[in-house]
Amino acid sequence: MKTKAIFYHAGCPVCVSAEQQLAGALDPQRYDVEIVNFAETPQRIAEAERAGVVSVPAFVIGGSPFHINFGASMADVKGG
């Protein structure tokens, strides 16, 4: 069974770079990668926060949050 890996972002330049170079790098044989853009699906902000995401871009892999560089805080995401 593949491990779920969710890449959360908000369309910022830092996010796009991370999406292209890191989110696309995971092994498709072992990971089921989903890309979530909060600008399009703000209703998924709560789920990301529950997983421990405090800034974007971030990966949640197997339930653990990995913040990648810093594009925007979740407060910024919610405020925007």
Check residue 35 for interaction with its own copies (CB under 8 A). no
Core vs surface per residue 7-40: b (16+ CB within 10 A) or e: bbbbbbebbeebbeeebeebeeeebebeebbbee
Check residue 51 for interaction with its own copies (CB under 8 A). no
Smallest separation (angstroms) from its own copies to the CB of 76 = 18
Check residue 59 for interaction with its own copies (CB under 8 A). yes
Instruction: Write down how long the chain is.
Output: 80
Give the range of 38-46, 60-68, 71-79 binding its own copies by CB under 8 A.
60-68
Check residue 6 for interaction with its own copies (CB under 8 A). no
